[in-house]
Structures are given as C-alpha cells and as structure tokens.
Chain A
Amino acid sequence: MRWLALLALVGCGWRPLPEDQVCREVGYAIAARTKGCSGDEELAFARWEQFQDAYACLPIDERDAPQLLNCAATIRKLSCERAEANGDDLALWLETSPACRHVVEEAP
C-alpha cells in the first residue's frame, strides 16, 4: 500500500509553468546555441552566467507565455554565423526576436 501511495504521489500530470521559466529559457537558448555552434562548454557556461548577471526577468502574464517563448525559440534557430557574430554581446542575441523585450530587461 505504501508503494501505491508513492506511485500516486509521483503520478501527477500537469504542473503550472514556473513564473520565471520563460525568462530562463532565454538564457538556456543562448547557452545551447553557443555550445551547439562552437562546441565550447566554458564559453556557453560563461554566457549563461553573463545573462543571469546582466538581465532581469520581467513579470509576464501566463496567457502571453506561448508568444513570449518565441524569444528563446528564435535564438535556438539562429545560424551559427549569426551566433558567432553576436559573440558576447547579449543585446545582439536579444534583438533576434521582438518578443525578447517583453521577457527580460537590463538589470539595474
């Protein structure tokens, strides 16, 4: 019976989207594209940390999440030439999609 109870506990389906998930996805996307194009994990990690330090998450309405996730999705589709040209300038990465300006802002 105890095991059945445990199975029930982990058997949940749907979970609400964490509040800052859309914003975090942007940092993950920059790291993924950096690593995917350059193969350089240290650089990918450094850009992810740079993103966390330099940008703050904006509050978003859950209903807008699908459209705002377009920011991360577009970054993930960047060509390697474009990713390389963006380099460490995160502002250039965030210019990739108009959705980005509704997701993050420069940290104060």
Chain B
Amino acid sequence: MIALLLGLLTAQAADWKGFNCPKPLYIEGTSGLDAARRNIQTFNRYYTGASLAERGLFPYVATPTWVDREGWRTRAVVDFSYIADSAGLIAMESSSGKCGAVGVHPMDLAVNSMGLLMMHQSGFGITVAGSSTFVGAADNTAERWTTAAMTLFPWTAFYSFASPLLPLFPNARDPWGAQADFLIGAVYDAQTFGTYRLAWSHQGGWVTNVSQENVRLLVSALISPNLDRIPLLRAGFDRIQSKVGYTTLLGRKTDFARLSTEDEATEHRGVILAQDNIFGILDIGVEPAWEPHVRLAHAKLGFHTRGFFDVPVTADPNKVDYVGTGEGKVEVGLEGGLVTLPTLPWYGIEGGTQPYAVLVLRVNSAGPGTEDWETGRKGELSVIDLRFAYNDPEVLLYMPTAQGSLRVGIIGNMQW
C-alpha cells in the first residue's frame, strides 16, 4: 500500500513541473539546465541530507547534560524551506501568452528535512533523519506561494518520512522528480572527553562529528561511501563564550556539483570568523576563501533582540536543570552583508558580489520544572525560526545558481 502510494506520488511529483499552455520545453545543452540538474542532487545530498545532522541534530545548542538524566531524552528537528528562483532555465515558454517564445524560467526548490535524536542516560544514543527535495517552476506569484504552502510542504514531509523506501523507486531518482535521502546513526556522549557521532547517509556517505563542549571544539565531516573523498568538512572552534559574546573560528570545505562521474568537484575552502552577540545585540563576521579563488566569500553585519540566543545558551552543562517559564517569546534577528560568488564558467556562473539579507523571527521557549526529571516532570526546550533570506549565503554555497533567490523557511528544534 505504501509502495503504491509512493509510486503515485512520485509520478505526480514528476508531472508537477508542468505549467499552462503547453508545458515549457527546457532546452537541453544549456548551462542553467545542466548546472541545475547537478546542483539539485548536490543540494539534496549535502545540504538537506547529511548537513541536517550537522545543523540540527548534532550541534551543541540546547543540549542539556544527557547523562545526568534517567531514561531517554529526545530531540526533533524539522526544516522546511522553499527557495524561489534557485536557477534560471532557458525554455520555450508559454506563460507570456506567446507559446514558443524563448525565455528564462525560474526554477524553485522545496526542501524538507526532519530528524530525531534519542539519547539514553548511559550516554549512548541513536539518530534517524529523512529529507527530500522537489523541483518546481511556477508561472506567477500566486501559483508559486500557494503551491509551496498547500502542496509541497505536505509532499516533502511525507517523502522525508518515507525516504528509506524511496531509493527503491526509479522515478524518485529522477533529478526532475523527487530527491530523497535518509540517515541513521549512533551517538556516544563521553561528556568531558567529547561527544562522538557516526551516521550513514544513503546519498552522501559517512557523517562523522566529534565535539568537545567545554572548549567548543568541533570536527565535522562527510566522507564519501568508498572513503575516497571528503565533500564536507568543518573544523575549529564554534561559538566560544566570553564577555564579548561568542567567538567562532571555523575552517570549512564544501564541494560544488561534479560535472561528470570522472570529474573532480570544484571546492570551496574558507574560514568563518565571527563575533556574535556583542553587547547582546550585534553580530559581525567574515569568511575569507581561497578556493576556487581568493575572495571574501561573505561579510555580515547583524542585529538582534537581546533574547535571541537565550534559550540555547543558558542551558548550563554543569547543572541538571535549565529553568524556563514555559512561555514562548518572539525574538527578531536581522542580518545583511555581501556575498561573493566564485567565477565558475563551467556552471554558467560568472561570479561577482551581491547584497544579501536575512530576517529571522525566532520563538524561544523553555519549559519549567526540569529539575524534577526523576518525578516525571520533563522539561522542554524549543526554538522555532521563521526565516526569510534573499541571496542566502548558505544556499549559494551549495547552489551557486541561486543568485537573486528568496528562501522562506521554517526550522523547528524541539527537545523533551
């Protein structure tokens, strides 16, 4: 039954890229189409799949001292994003009323990832996650946003749940249909001696992550299935707390899409330098990069309300409890700056510097009574972000064709 349902939905997903009068015909052999196809796969493999673990399941944020607790604690992460205008595809168009006219049609992406991490008091834990990526291309504003909300959100959520079965269905591997990935792994929290995570991502390979919370040391990598490449790597110090806020010094390497199976991927290599929460409100940062060529990959200036980081960082790892009021509070963060794209003519990208802007509306909440864990009064932590981003640097890093894109996302991180 599930297989039948999956088959039907996959077929529908493949058709959904259609439009009015008749469907536009994407012209083969053009840079946008070629890069978009490869980028979708890369995006699904690295951004929605493996890096969900790094971004949502494995980081330090909101991690209480698991081993001081009896029984199990659970973290759930859900990330749904709609990226409008992620690439421009040359097509025989129809929406202008001139069937057959040639133009550039924007391609959109709907991406969803969701994961669960369950930790036992012994320090051992397990994690599972699923993700999916859908391609869409709407003809007008209303169609784009209604489809995103009414159709793609439930579809991608369903596909993420069903992702372990999707590789069995050939249509699901069609780059213009759905892309899916799932991840399963194990965690061991040795407290002072660090936390060790190893997971298997069906699309990406081995996800490894080692961190030491006291000194905020982090080494995180995605290693290809046959252990010959490291498409993603982050290593350094992540958000060291001091009187002047949080200091980050992280080197990172990210692969762009490969042009052929024999081809080596173009690499991004840079260093993230950031000082966040200065005076409780100000964030600054830069990312110098030297691959594919020397440039300032991005520079940021951000302001946020004073409670923006409160819930994740006030959980004291040396205490059993974190005390919350149980009330949700809305915090606002606004970040802007410049993002520099590398020159990659083989993807049809000529590079250049563009402005970017990110607005985050964050609801932080912490449940009361967590000190009474033994009597069953479980506390909750949740951070829910509503994110609007124009030229999101994180999206452009994985998908450089997304110049001028708008990302609207809901990211929830809940723990109980």
List residues of A whose CB falls within 8 A of some B CB.
Answer: 3, 6-8, 10-18, 21, 24-25, 27-29, 31-32, 34-37, 39, 41, 44-45, 48, 62-63, 65-66, 69-70, 72-77
Give the nearest-CB partner of B139 in chain A. Answer: A13
How far is the CB of B159 from the nearest CB of chain A, in Å?
A: 24
Chain A residues, Cβ within 8 Å of B226: none
Interface membership of B279, Cβ < 8 A: no
A29–B345 CA distance with the chains assembled, in angstroms = 8
For the complex of A and B, the 10 pairs showing the least CB-CB separation, nearest first, are: A73-B29, A11-B141, A48-B345, A36-B259, A31-B345, A32-B346, A28-B31, A13-B139, A10-B406, A65-B102
How far is the CB of B49 from the nearest CB of chain A, in Å?
A: 24
How far is the CB of A38 from the nearest CB of chain B, in Å?
A: 9
Does B345 contact A28, Cβ atoms closer than 8 Å?
yes
If A14-B95, A27-B345, A72-B29 touch, does A66 touch B263 (CB 8 Å cutoff)? no
> Which of B82-90, B321-329, B362-370 lies at the binding interface?
B82-90
A17–B102 CA distance with the chains assembled, in angstroms = 7
- Per-position contact with A for B94-132: 1 when CB-CB < 8 Å, else 0? 011000011111100000000000000000000000000
A24–B30 CA distance with the chains assembled, in angstroms = 10
A65–B90 CA distance with the chains assembled, in angstroms = 10
How far is the CB of B281 from the nearest CB of chain A, in Å?
A: 22
Chain A residues, Cβ within 8 Å of B175: none
A74–B262 CA distance with the chains assembled, in angstroms = 20
Chain A residues, Cβ within 8 Å of B406: 6-7, 10
Select B31's contact among A13, A17, A25, beta carbons within 8 Å: A25
How far is the CB of B134 from the nearest CB of chain A, in Å?
A: 17
Known: A14-B103, A70-B29. 7 other contacts (CB 8 A): A13-B140, A41-B266, A44-B346, A45-B345, A62-B101, A72-B29, A75-B29
How far is the CB of B214 from the nearest CB of chain A, in Å?
A: 40
Does A13 contact B29, Cβ atoms closer than 8 Å?
no
Does B29 contact A69, Cβ atoms closer than 8 Å?
yes
Q: What are 11 A-B contacts defined by CB distance under 8 Å? A: A10-B404, A11-B141, A14-B139, A21-B104, A24-B348, A27-B345, A44-B345, A45-B345, A69-B90, A72-B30, A73-B30
A14–B144 CA distance with the chains assembled, in angstroms = 12
Does A12 contact B34, Cβ atoms closer than 8 Å?
no
Chain B residues, Cβ within 8 Å of A11: 84, 138, 140-142, 144-145
If A10-B390, A36-B260 touch, does A69 touch B345 (CB 8 Å cutoff)? no
Does B88 contact A15, Cβ atoms closer than 8 Å?
yes
Interface membership of B316, Cβ < 8 A: no
How far is the CB of B95 from the nearest CB of chain A, in Å?
A: 5
Chain A residues, Cβ within 8 Å of B142: 11
A39–B164 CA distance with the chains assembled, in angstroms = 33
Select B348's contact among A28, A69, A73, A74, beta carbons within 8 Å: A28
Does A10 contact B34, Cβ atoms closer than 8 Å?
no
If A35-B263, A73-B30 touch, does A17 touch B345 (CB 8 Å cutoff)? no
How far is the CB of B180 from the nearest CB of chain A, in Å?
A: 26
Select A76's contact among B34, B96, B106, beta carbons within 8 Å: B34
Interface membership of B292, Cβ < 8 A: yes
How far is the CB of A79 from the nearest CB of chain B, in Å?
A: 12
How far is the CB of B360 from the nearest CB of chain A, in Å?
A: 13
Give the nearest-CB partner of B262 in chain A. Answer: A39
A21–B388 CA distance with the chains assembled, in angstroms = 30
Does A32 contact B138, Cβ atoms closer than 8 Å?
no
Interface membership of B394, Cβ < 8 A: no
Does A31 contact B103, Cβ atoms closer than 8 Å?
no
How far is the CB of A48 from the nearest CB of chain B, in Å?
A: 4
If A14-B139, A69-B27, A73-B28 touch, does A62 touch B102 (CB 8 Å cutoff)? yes
A35–B145 CA distance with the chains assembled, in angstroms = 37
Does B141 contact A69, Cβ atoms closer than 8 Å?
no
Chain B residues, Cβ within 8 Å of A18: 104
How far is the CB of B345 from the nearest CB of chain A, in Å?
A: 4
Does B96 contact A32, Cβ atoms closer than 8 Å?
no
- Per-position contact with A for B135-155: 1 when CB-CB < 8 Å, else 0? 001111110110000000000
A28–B266 CA distance with the chains assembled, in angstroms = 15
Does B345 contact A7, Cβ atoms closer than 8 Å?
no
Give the nearest-CB partner of A35 in chain B. Answer: B346
Chain A residues, Cβ within 8 Å of B263: 35-36, 39
Chain B residues, Cβ within 8 Å of A14: 93, 95-96, 103-105, 139
Chain B residues, Cβ within 8 Å of A70: 29
A10–B220 CA distance with the chains assembled, in angstroms = 35
Does B103 contact A17, Cβ atoms closer than 8 Å?
yes
Chain A residues, Cβ within 8 Å of B93: 14
A26–B205 CA distance with the chains assembled, in angstroms = 35
- From 226 to 269 in chain B, residues with beta carbon under 8 angstroms from any chain A beta carbon are 259-260, 262-264, 266
